[in-house]
Structure formats: structure tokens, C-alpha cells
């Protein structure tokens, strides 16, 4: 059975690229009937925080992909946080040292840094000198007595090819000559990520490692560890990076890079999933809109592209718009309410007491939005007492001769109304047409502009209903007084 995992380090938010990696892992597990595991790789004590871990897990949950084993849900390989697994790593480190495959190194960071700078200035690739490779017991004791806390380095063999048969990249070859003896345990006694992953993946019986391409260069080091420990080497699948508009690795500079931010902007998780699935993977036919379940059936590593992908917000918007229009209106209403409240257009109580009104508002504008927060821009037209003429075109509309009488008649009709509902408004336009002779554009546009100041907008009948009798009357008065 296939077993895959997503192993984020809790040093920030869930990056959009991380979300895609998690998704691919999830889809692969579902497709193959395997298990998906989530484990927290918090070996970096300086950068890892519990807040970050929470944020990442919350984002993962919102994203809608659940895991079979791992953090929070538990499983046969607890604990799922590497800082709590230190006792597990220790014997493996000891084994490597005992077998001479790893050794203690007492070089100070300053020393190493100096060496690095030197080789860099000479234009050479830096590799650890191997100074501490063959320290005698005697020498070690002396250094220990000085109170130096050593790191543990892996003894990298000479001139050995390392071949990765990558599921997406094909055969990739490295040579150990390009790798210096690297650190596997830091001086604080915590193993480094490269070591912890290997032990964790082995113990958790991970069969396929699907992760970002940035890990490809580290894979030979990990393979060395697998071999030294006598572990089976899993399959690897390195997925290309997601790039920003300028074709560099997507980062804060490129706008929203965390899934949290997309949640806040009002993107739907299914839409983000659909979009991210298409970023680097392609289905067989021409269809592009898929539910999670459909993706689970269709996904395969063979169809994952090798080339990096630029994150295209326009396409995300398009897909999200489709999902917004497809969703039950109630859901979109629920999602819209916080944005409308935040904009100050409604209160929580109002939303509770006037569900019908808010539903009409949302269904009036949802055709026009690509993410929920945009509804605020469109709803703006309903609030405030003044009518602001948006442009010359709108001003022109009001200059037409028949506008004054049209607005007078409109006022009269509305004034007599008890309540402006859809049916009444429909009839109102018929009556207006009868009384003034204006029809089509000449009928609707002046009303639209007089009431909203805009020449474009959503369904006028709905706008009028949403405005309500009092506001309509107020706005007609305002327009007649100030804009004619």
C-alpha cells in the first residue's frame, strides 16, 4: 500500500506551494487507495513556533484535505512532531557513529564560516575540510573538556554516483564528490531536517516522497543516510515550484502567498484546490473544472509537469467565480455577511433579522464577483444618501430632456407604494413607460443613473428593491436638487 506524507515545518503560514504539495500527496494517496500522513518537522528550534503550527494545520483543514494519520489525528507512529521524537533519532545517530559512518566535529561556526568565505573568494565550491574526521579519543576528550559541544557530521564517501529515479523528473544523477561531510545533528543535540526526515519516513513506512523541487538537491544527502542506515529508499517525486509573475519562487513580494490570505479574500477551498491541481498537473481531456472527488479519481504523477508554473491570479479568479455561482446561495450569503459587516454596511443583528434582504443582495451581485470580498465594492452602491455621478457618460444620461418628467412620475409612483417588491417594480416600469412614453434604454438608464450615479451595474429591479422606498425617494430628491 502506498503511504505518502506532508511534512511542513512550522515556521510561518501554509504557503500556496506547500498547499499544492499537500494536495498532490492527498490526491496520490486517494488515487492509489493509500494513506496520507501529516507530520510536523520542527527541528529548527529558532524558527518553529506553536502558533505557526496551528496556523498551518488550520489552513490545511480549511483547504479541505484530511489526513489518515499524523498530528492531531494520531496513528501508529506517534509522536508526529519531530522535537518529540528525539529519543527515536538517538540510537540511529549512535549506530552511524559506532560504525564510523558519522563523527563528532568540534569546529566552531566561525571557523567554518571563515573557510567558506575563503573558498568562495577563490571561486571554489565549499566543502567541509574534514578536519575532525579522524580525531583520536584523546583529542576528543581534550576538546570536550574545553566545553565545546560538537555537532555530528556524516562521513560522505568519495566519488560515488547517486542516482535518483524521480517519478516526475526521471533519472537524476549526482556524485558524492560534490557533497561535503554534512551535519546530521546540531550542537544542541537536535538532528537536522535532512536526518530526521529520513528516519521519520522510514519508520512511518513512507513509500513515495512527493515534495517541492527545492528538495531535489538535498535528496542525495538523504539517500546517503538511507543507505548508511540500511533503510529501503522510497520513490521520489519532485514537483516544480510555483513562481510569481517575475518567474522567481513565489514569495510575499508577489502578493498573497498563504492560503490563509485566500481564505480571507473569499476564495472557496474547492476553487483553490481545483486551480492548484491544474498548476503543474493536467487531466486527460479538455475539462478543467473538477470536484475533489473527481481529482482523486483522475490524478496521477505521470501527468505532473516538469516545468515550473507561474501563479496566475486571473485564472484562479475565473475558477473561483465559477464555484461562487455554482454554490448554494445560502453558503455565499454566509460567507458574504462578514465582509459586509466589516465594510460597515450592515450589522450582525441586521443580518440575522433580515436574512431575506441579505440573500437578495448577495444573489444580485454574486454574478459579478470572483471572490467574496469583492461583493463589498458592488454593494457600495446601495449605501449612503448621496448620489455620485461616476463619469461623463452618466452625466449625459441625466441631461436628456425627458428626465425631469420621468423622475417626477417615478417619484409619484413610488410615493404611493406601500412596499417596493419585485412585482411592484416590474409594474412600475410598465406604468412609467405608459405615462412618459420612454422605453428601453431611455427608460431604464435615467432611473439607474438617478438612483446610483452609475451607468453600469446589477439588475436594476433588484437594486430598487434593495434600496427600498425611502431611499429611492430620497435619492430622486437628491438627484433632482443637485444633479439636474
Partner RNA sequence: GGUCCUAUGGUCUAGUGGUUAGGACGCCGCCCUCUCACGGCGGUAACAGGGGUUCGAAUCCCCUUAGGACUACCA
For the annotated catalytic residues, the residue numbers are: 252
CA 3 – CA 1 distance, rounded (Å): 6
CA dihedral (33, 34, 40, 41) in degrees, to 10, reads: -130
Any residues with CB less than 8 A from the CB of 290 and at least 6 apart, and which? 274, 277, 283, 298
Q: Which is nearer to RNA, 351 or 438 (CB)?
A: 438
CA 384 – CA 475 distance, rounded (Å): 10
Q: Of 4, 35, 19, 12, nearest to 279 (Cα)?
A: 19
CA 82 – CA 93 distance, rounded (Å): 15
Beta carbon of residue 164, minimum distance to RNA (angstroms, whole number): 9
Beta carbon of residue 62, minimum distance to RNA (angstroms, whole number): 21
CA 153 – CA 132 distance, rounded (Å): 9
Q: Which is nearer to RNA, 73 or 310 (CB)?
A: 310
CA dihedral (414, 416, 420, 422) in degrees, to 10, reads: -90
Beta carbon of residue 17, minimum distance to RNA (angstroms, whole number): 10
Q: Which is nearer to RNA, 5 or 351 (CB)?
A: 5
Beta carbon of residue 189, minimum distance to RNA (angstroms, whole number): 9
Q: In the block, which residue shows the cell 413607460? A: 433
Beta carbon of residue 348, minimum distance to RNA (angstroms, whole number): 28
Any residues with CB less than 8 A from the CB of 466 and at least 6 apart, and which? 357, 360, 361, 364, 382
Q: Which is nearer to RNA, 76 or 123 (CB)?
A: 123
Q: Of 104, 112, 111, 158, nearest to 136 (Cα)?
A: 104
Beta carbon of residue 48, minimum distance to RNA (angstroms, whole number): 8
How many residues make up the chain in this entry? 484
252 is in an annotated binding site: yes
DSSP output for 125-190? PP----TTTT--HHHHHHHHHTTPPPEEEE-PPSS-EEEEEETTTEEEEEEGGG----EEE-TTSP
Q: 384 is written with which cell numbers?
A: 449612503
Q: Which is nearer to RNA, 351 or 424 (CB)?
A: 424
Work out the angle between the directed axes of helices 460-482 and 355-365 (0-180°, nearest 10): 90
Question: With contact defined as beta carbons under 8 Å apart, do 422 and 465 qualify?
Answer: yes
Q: Which is nearer to RNA, 94 or 325 (CB)?
A: 325
Q: Which is nearer to RNA, 38 or 351 (CB)?
A: 38
Beta carbon of residue 212, minimum distance to RNA (angstroms, whole number): 8
Question: With contact defined as beta carbons under 8 Å apart, do 103 and 183 qualify?
Answer: no
Sequence ranges of the binding site for ATP: 252
Sequence ranges of the binding site: 252
Amino acid at each position: 500500500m502506498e503511504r505518502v506524507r506532508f511534512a511542513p515545518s512550522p515556521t510561518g503560514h501554509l504557503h500556496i506551494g506547500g498547499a499544492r504539495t499537500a494536495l498532490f500527496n492527498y490526491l496520490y494517496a486517494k488515487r492509489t487507495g493509500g494513506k496520507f500522513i501529516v507530520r510536523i518537522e520542527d527541528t529548527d528550534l529558532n524558527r518553529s513556533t506553536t502558533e505557526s503550527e496551528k496556523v498551518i494545520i488550520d489552513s490545511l483543514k480549511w483547504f479541505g484535505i484530511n489526513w489518515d494519520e499524523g498530528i492531531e489525528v494520531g496513528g501508529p507512529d506517534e509522536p508526529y512532531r519531530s522535537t518529540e521524537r528525539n529519543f527515536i533519532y538517538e540510537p540511529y545517530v549512535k549506530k552511524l557513529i559506532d560504525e564510523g559512518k558519522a563523527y563528532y566535529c568540534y569546529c566552531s561556526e566561525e571557523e567554518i564560516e571563515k573557510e567558506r568565505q575563503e573558498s568562495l573568494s577563490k571561486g571554489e565550491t565549499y566543502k567541509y575540510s574534514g578536519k575532525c574526521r579522524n580525531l583520536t579519543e584523546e583529542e576528543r576528550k581534550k576538546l570536550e573538556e574545553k566545553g565545546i559541544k560538537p555537532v555530528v557530521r556524516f562521513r560522505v564517501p568519495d566519488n560515488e554516483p547517486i542516482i535518483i529515479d524521480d517519478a516526475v523528473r526521471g533519472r537524476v544523477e549526482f556524485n558524492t564528490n560534490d557533497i561535503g561531510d554534512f551535519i546530521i545533528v546540531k550542537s544542541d543535540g537536535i538532528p537536522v531536517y535532512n536526518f530526521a526526515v529520513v528516519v521519520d519516513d522510514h519508520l512511518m513506512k513512507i513509500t513515495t516522497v512527493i515534495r517541492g523541487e527545492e528538495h531535489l538537491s538535498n535528496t542525495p544527502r538523504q539517500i546517503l543516510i538511507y543507505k548508511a542506515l540500511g533503510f529501503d529508499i522510497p520513490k521520489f517525486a519532485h514537483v516544480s515550484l510555483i513562481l510569481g509573475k517575475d518567474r522567481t519562487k513565489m514569495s510575499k513580494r508577489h502578493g498573497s502567498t498563504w492560503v490563509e490570505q485566500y481564505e480571507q479574500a473569499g476564495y472557496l477551498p474547492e476553487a483553490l484546490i481545483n486551480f492548484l491541481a491544474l498548476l503543474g498537473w493536467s487531466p486527460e481531456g479538455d475539462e478543467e473544472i473538477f470536484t475533489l472527488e473527481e481529482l482523486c479519481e483522475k490524478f496521477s504523477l505521470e501527468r505532473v509537469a516538469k516545468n515550473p508554473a507561474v501563479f496566475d491570479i486571473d485564472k484562479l479568479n475565473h475558477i473561483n467565480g465559477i464555484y461562487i455561482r455554482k454554490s448554494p446561495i445560502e453558503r455565499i450569503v454566509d460567507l458574504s455577511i462578514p465582509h459586509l459587516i466589516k465594510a460597515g454596511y450592515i450589522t450582525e443583528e441586521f443580518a440575522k433579522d433580515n436574512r431575506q434582504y441579505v440573500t437578495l443582495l448577495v444573489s444580485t451581485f454574486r454574478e459579478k464577483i470572483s471572490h467574496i470580498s469583492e461583493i463589498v465594492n458592488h454593494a457600495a452602491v446601495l449605501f449612503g444618501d448621496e448620489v455620485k455621478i461616476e463619469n461623463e457618460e452618466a452625466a449625459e444620461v441625466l441631461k436628456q430632456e425627458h428626465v425631469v418628467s420621468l423622475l417626477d412620475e417615478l417619484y409619484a409612483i413610488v410615493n404611493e407604494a406601500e412596499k417596493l417588491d419585485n412585482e411592484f417594480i416590474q409594474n412600475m416600469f410598465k406604468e412609467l413607460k405608459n405615462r412618459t412614453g420612454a422605453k428601453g434604454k431611455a427608460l431604464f438608464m435615467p432611473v439607474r443613473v438617478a438612483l446610483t450615479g452609475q451607468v453600469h451595474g446589477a439588475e436594476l429591479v433588484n437594486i430598487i428593491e434593495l434600496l427600498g422606498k425611502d431611499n429611492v425617494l430620497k435619492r430622486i430628491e437628491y438627484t433632482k436638487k443637485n444633479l439636474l
